Structure 1
Amino acid sequence: MSAAYADISKTPLCELDVSDPLRFENDTWQPLFERLRAESPVHYQADSPAGPFWSISRFEDIVEIEKNTEVFSSEPTIAIVDPPPDRRSPMFIAMDQPEHDVQRRAVQPVVAPKNLQEFEALIRKRSGEALDALPEGETFDWVELVSRNLTTQMLATLFDFPWELRHKLSEWSDAVTSDERMTAGQGLTRDERIEVIMEILEVFTRLWHQRKDDGVESFDLIRLLQRDPHTANMVDDPKNYVGNLMLLIVGGNDTTRNSMSGGVLFLNENPEQFQRVKDDHSLISAMVSEIIRYQTPLSHMRRTLTRDVEFRGQQMKAGDKVVLWYCSANRDASVIENADAFQIDRQSVRNHASFGFGIHRCMGNRLAEMQLRVVWEEALKRFSDIKLMAPPTRLCHNFVRGYSAMPVQVTRLSNG
């Protein structure tokens, strides 16, 4: 690891690439963002693989910007990189009012309280089956056998997707976020990503037409779009349709999958916290929120200036990119006490930035929390230990904070 990654304290901020994906792969991002919060909370970077951008690193500044959607627009994209103009796929998370609310409202019922109640029994059954199938005394990959397995099953349920093809959903999720500009060249090229996007569109267009007016009373995401008068013909606008599909696939997958893996890591790194939750299962709900804060599954969201503005003494220009670093906000000690510690019973444990703020706050946050809570409730019924056997393999990515592998061994309770 170069000196720049080992110690950034003596390097001028103007010489550091805040967006470097290798910082996240090597888990060395924290000191840089601590320095940004202290020295340059509204920081301009003139050059990067994604072009010039502003970095916002403090919690309260991010909240303020997220509320001001007229000046800080979500269009054309919420990622640090720009899509090619001819390949832009509109999605409601990358829309402003009123279009945002119209399209989000169409699919919101999938996470209505009544549906969440019904989902819980299904999630608990599937979680139990997955955990019961884990080998004892053998090292296995938690990411593959638990996190990816369970989130893919849930995603297939949300779309009422052909069960035997459900693996395609997680493959597509990985592919559409795997832009080589956000992965230090390790991701897919533009042409490779376009090929995946066209496959998604082809499969889901076929599903749309198969379900149109079929009379089935289902709350899957495709039929919800068909029922709402504002989105009933979305299939006729392929870019908008595939844009929202990609949003729902990634949103229903990455946050939960990577938090499900991150929890194992954090509990191994903090054995006293692990013991506390083993002794008192009532701490699980709070622990889930702390896992989501500490993991921060999406490192950033991006906004674009609609006009010139002064913010915290800095002159920003219309068209400038403004990158909201959620990972930094979640370590902001001015808002979150002892923010660098993993503490499962902290005060106001749900006060974190991982789900965003304002109109773009994560639609599926309650479902994600439920999935994680149920997995840990079922795991702690069965296992006296879930031991990390080697360091996890982290993604080289400046948008998705996650893991590609996490080798563990489990020890079952004598009555488990």
Structure 2
Amino acid sequence: MDDGSIDIQRAAREAAYSMPIEEIDPSNPELFRTDTWHPYFERLRKENPVHWATSPEEQVGGYWSITKYNDIMAVDTNHQVFSSIPTIVLPDPDEDFTLPMFIAMDPPKHDEQRKTVSPIVAPPNLARLEPVIRERAAKILDDLPIGEEIDWVDKVSIELTTMTLATLFDFPWEDRRKLTFWSDVATAAPESGILGTTDPEEFEQKRRMALFECVDYFQRLWDERSKAAPGPDLISMLAHGESTKNMDRMEYLGNLILLIVGGNDTTRNTISGSIYALNQNPEQDRILRANPSMIPNMVSETIRWQTPLAYMRRRALQDIEIGGKKIKEGDKVAMWYISGNRDEEVIERPNDYWIERPNPRRHISFGFGIHRCVGNRLAELQLKIIWEEILKRFPRIEVVGQPKRIYSSFVHGYEHLPVVIPTRN
């Protein structure tokens, strides 16, 4: 960490501990863009682990922040009281642009729709996918220039995950980067500049246009596959599934966005995070390279340390007490996975990146209960394969500049990560 980064972190800690605690708003995306979120959550865990926050963003308003591991578990495993409807993010959806998706549904509809797509990530299908992912990972790495600066996010993380996602959808190969674009658009803020404007109204108009282009494109695939025999890809599964074959356009779009973001954003940010974490912790890099059997541990530790989705939202269906606070019916609740993964009372050495950690799978990044990430094993598989292939090829990968982080309190990840693969001595 350079001197500038140390000064930023020192200033963030001073700000987090000097402001009135009721003024802390963990949903401020700037905390994540600048990587200064740590002390705010540390203070909340210590002083007010079930915390009422108010966002200046009108569509967010007031909400409860749940910041400790066991309290998050209590909320996440109690879908009878804490509903996912109408959305999993803090901003309320616009009434004229609501996107139903199974992660933002309650049983029984949630269970029926999730069951329709879950075979795609069942162990037999993952076994069939593994050699395909490995071949692609090998080619991506073999094509990287040696001794030149590259953007790891674009050249490796996005490319591998987008290839995998295109395979799951049986999506036209030449158009696969459309999946990346739609994923980014679905979760981006106007400040990202991804659509050429930072004006909120113009951005939202362009975002909707892009997402309608997404559903129109996928509608053509749906029409083809609904007329054919059921196939092993996600679109065919949706088109032939009893609980999904009669979805309207907005519900189809909602589930597409769920599958695209879930299959793309999270894994690509964990792949990038692994490169950054091992550069920040060179002794861990040495341990990994000396003992490649540590890769599965490293994968789990990276998923904890990175926490690619910072939170999930729920809505209380009745009055309930959590951590001594009374949450009222209708209140919004944010389960901050990124904070639960740093809970000092549950996680040993929580702020260390430690690939020899005992029980490394004891993290909360995938959630728990009925909404636990359906693709968690596929995410782990991609990260495992890319590192097995990296260790065969490159003695080092050097981060040569500060990462550019995503302006979002939901997707915790990287826009750019400059690296150089040094020439061999």
Q: Name the TM-score, length of structure 2 as normaliser.
A: 0.93
Give the CA deviation at 1:18.
1.7
- Please name the residue that 2:216 is paired with: 202
- Please name the residue that 1:189 is paired with: 203
- Please name the residue that 2:43 is paired with: 35
Question: Is 1:231 aligned with 2:244?
Answer: yes
Q: Do the aligned residues in 2 keep the contact of 1:59 with 1:329 (CA within 8 Å)?
A: yes
Q: Do the aligned residues in 1 keep the contact of 2:310 with 2:411 (CA within 8 Å)?
A: yes
Question: Is 1:213 aligned with 2:221?
Answer: no
Q: Do the aligned residues in 2 keep the contact of 1:90 with 1:240 (CA within 8 Å)?
A: yes
Query: In 1, Cα distance between the equivalents of 2:184 and 2:175?
Result: 16
Question: Is 1:15 aligned with 2:28?
Answer: no
- Please name the residue that 2:421 is paired with: 410
Q: Which amino acid aligns with 1:191?
A: Q
Secondary structure (helix, strand or coil) at the match of 1:53 reads strand
Secondary structure (helix, strand or coil) at the match of 1:128 reads helix
**Segment of structure 1 superposing worse, 354-363 or 185-194:** 185-194
- Please name the residue that 1:97 is paired with: 107
Give the CA deviation at 1:2.
11
Question: Is 1:317 aligned with 2:328?
Answer: yes
Give the CA deviation at 1:265.
0.4
Query: In 2, Cα distance between the equivalents of 1:318 and 1:180?
Result: 32
Q: Aligned Cα RMSD in Å?
A: 1.8
**Segment of structure 1 superposing worse, 276-285 or 311-320:** 311-320
- Please name the residue that 1:327 is paired with: 338
Q: Do the aligned residues in 2 keep the contact of 1:186 with 1:396 (CA within 8 Å)?
A: no
Q: Do the aligned residues in 2 keep the contact of 1:182 with 1:399 (CA within 8 Å)?
A: no
Query: In 1, Cα distance between the equivalents of 2:281 and 2:189?
Result: 34
Q: Which amino acid aligns with 1:81?
A: P
What 5-or-longer segments of structure 2 have no aligned partner?
Answer: 1-7
Q: Which amino acid aligns with 1:297?
A: P
- Please name the residue that 2:376 is paired with: 365
Q: Do the aligned residues in 1 keep the contact of 2:81 with 2:316 (CA within 8 Å)?
A: yes
Change (3 A) 1:350 1:17: same
Q: Which amino acid aligns with 1:134?
A: L
Query: In 1, Cα distance between the equivalents of 2:28 and 2:297?
Result: 32
Q: Which amino acid aligns with 2:300?
A: S
Query: In 2, Cα distance between the equivalents of 1:344 and 1:250?
Result: 27
For residues 316-359 of structure 1, give each alpha carbon's deviation from its aligned partner in whole angstroms, at most 9, with x where no partner exists: 22211100101000101111100100000111101101100000
Change (3 A) 1:199 1:160: same
Q: Which amino acid aligns with 2:61?
A: G
Q: Do the aligned residues in 2 keep the contact of 1:81 with 1:182 (CA within 8 Å)?
A: no
Change (3 A) 1:324 1:182: farther
Question: Is 1:348 aligned with 2:359?
Answer: yes
Q: Do the aligned residues in 2 keep the contact of 1:52 with 1:321 (CA within 8 Å)?
A: yes
Q: Do the aligned residues in 1 keep the contact of 2:284 with 2:355 (CA within 8 Å)?
A: yes
Question: Is 1:71 aligned with 2:81?
Answer: yes
Query: In 1, Cα distance between the equivalents of 2:191 and 2:407?
Result: 11
Query: In 2, Cα distance between the equivalents of 1:395 and 1:204?
Result: 27
Question: Is 1:51 aligned with 2:52?
Answer: no
Q: Do the aligned residues in 2 keep the contact of 1:81 with 1:181 (CA within 8 Å)?
A: no
Q: Of 111, 114, 117, which aligns to 1:107?
A: 117
Query: In 2, Cα distance between the equivalents of 1:4 and 1:274?
Result: 29
Q: Which amino acid aligns with 1:218?
A: G
Query: In 2, Cα distance between the equivalents of 1:180 and 1:153?
Result: 27
Query: In 2, Cα distance between the equivalents of 1:380 and 1:2?
Result: 32
Query: In 2, Cα distance between the equivalents of 1:407 and 1:186?
Result: 29
Q: Do the aligned residues in 1 keep the contact of 2:318 with 2:329 (CA within 8 Å)?
A: yes
For residues 55-100 of structure 1, give each alpha carbon's deviation from its aligned partner in whole angstroms, at most 9, with x where no partner exists: 0000000001011112111000000111112211110000011111
Question: Is 1:121 aligned with 2:128?
Answer: no
Q: Do the aligned residues in 2 keep the contact of 1:389 with 1:408 (CA within 8 Å)?
A: yes
Secondary structure (helix, strand or coil) at the match of 1:135 reads coil
Q: How do 1:117-156 and structure 2 match up within 5 A?
A: 117-156=127-166
Change (3 A) 1:207 1:264: same
Question: Is 1:243 aligned with 2:254?
Answer: yes
Query: In 1, Cα distance between the equivalents of 2:115 and 2:207?
Result: 28
- Please name the residue that 1:162 is paired with: 172
Give the CA deviation at 1:3.
9.1
Secondary structure (helix, strand or coil) at the match of 1:354 reads coil
Query: In 2, Cα distance between the equivalents of 1:47 and 1:407?
Result: 33
- Please name the residue that 2:3 is paired with: none
**Segment of structure 1 superposing worse, 313-322 or 339-348:** 313-322
Give the CA deviation at 1:4.
7.0
Name the count of aligned residue pairs: 410
Q: Do the aligned residues in 1 keep the contact of 2:117 with 2:234 (CA within 8 Å)?
A: yes
- Please name the residue that 1:173 is paired with: 183
**Segment of structure 1 superposing worse, 9-18 or 144-153:** 9-18
Q: Do the aligned residues in 1 keep the contact of 2:102 with 2:255 (CA within 8 Å)?
A: yes
Q: Which amino acid aligns with 2:386?
A: V
Change (3 A) 1:370 1:294: same
Query: In 2, Cα distance between the equivalents of 1:128 and 1:97?
Result: 41
Q: Do the aligned residues in 2 keep the contact of 1:147 with 1:260 (CA within 8 Å)?
A: yes
Question: Is 1:376 aligned with 2:387?
Answer: yes
Query: In 2, Cα distance between the equivalents of 1:364 and 1:156?
Result: 15
Secondary structure (helix, strand or coil) at the match of 1:327 reads helix
What 5-or-longer segments of structure 1 have no aligned partner?
Answer: none
